[in-house]
Amino acid sequence: MRKLNHALLAGALALACASCTAEKEANYQVIPLPQEVSLTQENPFKLNENVLIAYPENNALLQRNAEFLSEYIQQAANYAPKTKAIAAGEQVKNAIVLGLDPGIANKEGYVLTTTPEGISINGQTENGVFYGIQTLRKSIPAEAKEATILIPAGEIKDEPRFSYRGMHLDVGRHFFPKEFIKKYIDLLALHNMNTFHWHLTEDQGWRIEIKKYPKLTEIGSQRSRTVIGRNTQEYDNTPYGGFFTQEEAKEIVKYAQERYITVIPEVDLPGHMLAALASYPELGCTGGPYEVEKTWGVFPDVICIGNEKAMVFLEDVLSEIVELFPSEYIHIGGDEAPRDRWKKCPKCQARIKSENLKADKKHTAEDRLQSYCMSRIEKFLNSKGRRIIGWDEILEGDVAPNATVMSWRGMNGGLEAAKLGHDVIMTPNTYVYFDYYQTADTKDEPDAIGGCVPLEKVYSLEPVPASLNENEKKHIIGVQANLWTEYIATTQQIEYMVLPRMAALAEVQWTLPEKKDYRNFTKRLPQLLAFYDREGLNYGKHVFNIDSKITSDPEKKAVMIELSTIDDAPIYYTLDGTEPSAKNGTLYKEPIAVTQAANFKAIAIRPNGNNSKIKSEQIDFNKATCRPIELKNQPSPKYSYDGAIVLVDGLKGTNSYASGRWLGFPGKDVEATIHLEESTEISRVSTEAIIDLSAWIMGACGLSVAVSDDGKDFREVASKDYP
């Protein structure tokens, strides 16, 4: 009998040990990187299912924070620590204790302290505690299973650099359901963001219920069909629509609020209003008829500012919007409103006269008509205790006096606005338009609107222009990335476009510039990617691909290929078009000099199997390749890349104008002189131009070829005009 007992006991012990010995280590190498992390030599705190999460009694917000933390731990470790209210001064053992500390300077700052006995997370406000919880959550391995998690002893003192940390989502071009909006909000929280800019109205769909104007959703939320691709003139012949009821909007606002995220609604006016005009044609200058738009672009039919009924319509809509959204800010758009209709509209011209709106050297009377509209709406919203945000077009004319400006066409609008004393949110398309491609190698990418902002480019954004003085710098209140959804029809594609670029943005928004380092960021990224993996998120994996720099070297008469990866993984390449591998390929050691036509392929090989995509480039040689080249007119700085040599580097342009393979010459002829350096026969000359009308990029209208023996006197030998 004794023997049997003994045997049973041993069995039980073995079982218990199997679950208690598994240990996993947490680490604070999170994104965004905290401002100060100091570790001590003490033993780590052991987080397991017996740990309590304590919060001060009668603090409902901290109670909810405690519940969030318990839920986050459960997602990683499959056990949910119990939460417990404690009285002031009450000590709890083996606990994570949440609390407030008025001594913490920043409203969103926190201090996280870990000792072998426990963890405390204090914030000046509950918001700060929430960010401490996010840091702790991201420190824990995403897949901790049932393990005891060892949390390193030490202290984190952290606060955000910017008070406005936003992500935008356009639900006008495509509609995404409430459940996904919540998931998106969860992503914002994971990245320490505090503002969701919800772009609710568009030419292609009105997405928010307005009780006084039911046709906005009956008619305006539906379109008969959608153009295929980039305005191909072919359509899918499928009706498309959707909108959020006011109840759903309130539910989203509450969901966001619980995660310390403010929802800023945008009603884009006076342009991007075709869905509203289709619903109420009397609000437009011509009276219609109008249709909810089925293609992408900027359209001439806008709100008739001369029509008092249309202005009252805008005020009525915003009256309902402010009831739904408690945010201090309401975004009223102001972008891309063509003046064509106003110029011809008797009502608008009468308004210009009655308001004494005058053209000057910089602005037309119609520019001032838009300013009249924005200022009037601003006054209206100010009277309701709200402030406005507008896109940087609102600087064209008389800026609404208290407006905050969202700088999207690069940073100049924001710079100018800050100098004028306006608050500014930087959302430059050159860095944080997440509808742009995330790689220059676009051939396997889903269609995007154009542009190119890879992860590193996002990361490199410094939102505060150095040319501002200290006072002006204070007006840069934050940063946001925008996601326009013309080419994004599914939630999976939203994830693909925003992740992991949101991670880079998070660090721009949160971390001090002197602490930012892209290499270091990429080393911390896998820990966050493991969260994305666990949640089944569809993120871009471009960060593991090979980066290449290909240039023409006229001295060596060679195309030089320089390769790198973020983690210095070994790269193997071939030049004969065969599949590269560790067996079939040359190990890359230094820049490769290619002196004849080559079909280049390369792969980075990693022990964990996380290999790069195969990088491939066709390099062609002709009589101009790698010869010295001069340009008479320089390309636009936006499209100059490596300059003239881009034209003779053996590479053809891709289907993206922003790949670095195309130079852009706005309004000027391209005059290139290529020094062939010896007398040579030319039988054929060819060149290519990219045309992308959706980005206002036009082709060439003629080509002329001239030759010279001395580089001075040129003789035209061929020319052609193109319609």
Q: Site residues (CB under 5 A) for Zn ion?
A: 285, 304, 306, 345, 347-348
Q: Are strands 329-333 and 201-202 parallel, antiparallel or unpaired?
A: unpaired
Q: Is 619 helix (H, G, I), strand (E, B) or coil?
A: strand
Q: Which residues contact 330 (CB under 8 A, 6 or more apart)?
A: 264, 265, 266, 267, 318, 321, 322, 381, 386, 387, 388, 389
347 binds, among ligand ACM, Zn ion, none (CB under 5 to 8 A by kind): Zn ion
335 binds, among Zn ion, ligand ACM, none (CB under 5 to 8 A by kind): ligand ACM
Contact status, residue 661 vs residue 689, Cβ threshold 8 Å: no
408 binds, among ligand ACM, Zn ion, none (CB under 5 to 8 A by kind): ligand ACM
Q: Are strands 715-721 and 702-707 parallel, antiparallel or unpaired?
A: antiparallel
Q: Which listed residue (164, 206, 290, 391) binds ligand ACM by CB under 6 A?
A: 391
Q: Which listed residue (101, 186, 291, 336) binds ligand ACM by CB under 6 A?
A: 336
What is the nearest approach in angstroms of ligand ACM to the Cβ of residue 330? Answer: 16
Does 434 participate in binding ligand ACM (rule CB under 6 A)?
no
Q: Are strands 672-674 and 629-631 parallel, antiparallel or unpaired?
A: antiparallel
Does 143 participate in binding ligand ACM (rule CB under 6 A)?
no
Contact status, residue 143 vs residue 529, Cβ threshold 8 Å: no
Does 396 participate in binding ligand ACM (rule CB under 6 A)?
no
What is the nearest approach in angstroms of ligand ACM to the Cβ of residue 453? Answer: 13
DSSP code at position 643: G
306 binds, among Zn ion, ligand ACM, none (CB under 5 to 8 A by kind): Zn ion
Chain centre distance of CA 532: 17
What is the nearest approach in angstroms of ligand ACM to the Cβ of residue 520? Answer: 31
Rounded to 5°, the CA angle 620-624-628 comes to 125
Query: Phi and psi of 594, rounded to 5°?
Result: -105, 125
Q: Are strands 52-56 and 82-86 parallel, antiparallel or unpaired?
A: parallel
* DSSP calls for 230-270: TT-S-B----EE--B-HHHHHHHHHHHHHTT-EEEEEEEES
Rounded to 5°, the CA angle 393-396-400 comes to 85
The smaller minimum CB distance to Zn ion, of residues 274 and 348, is found at 348
Binding to ligand ACM, residues 316-335 (CB under 6 A): 335
Does 291 participate in binding ligand ACM (rule CB under 6 A)?
no
**# residues contacting ligand ACM (CB under 6 A):** 4
Q: Is the dihedral of CA 622, 627, 632, 636 positive or negative?
A: positive
What is the nearest approach in angstroms of Zn ion to the Cβ of residue 349? Answer: 8
642 binds, among ligand ACM, Zn ion, none (CB under 5 to 8 A by kind): none
The smaller minimum CB distance to ligand ACM, of residues 481 and 592, is found at 481
Task: Please state, in angstroms and rounded to a whole number, the distance separating the CA atoms of residues 80 and 96.
Answer: 13
What is the nearest approach in angstroms of ligand ACM to the Cβ of residue 272? Answer: 8
The smaller minimum CB distance to Zn ion, of residues 27 and 349, is found at 349
The smaller minimum CB distance to ligand ACM, of residues 340 and 517, is found at 340
Q: Residue 703 carries which side chain, given as an amino acid letter?
A: L
Query: Phi and psi of 664, rounded to 5°?
Result: -115, 130
573 binds, among Zn ion, ligand ACM, none (CB under 5 to 8 A by kind): none
Q: Which listed residue (380, 408, 434, 436) binds ligand ACM by CB under 6 A?
A: 408
437 binds, among Zn ion, ligand ACM, none (CB under 5 to 8 A by kind): none
The smaller minimum CB distance to ligand ACM, of residues 299 and 391, is found at 391
* Residues near ligand ACM, by CB under 6 A: 335-336, 391, 408
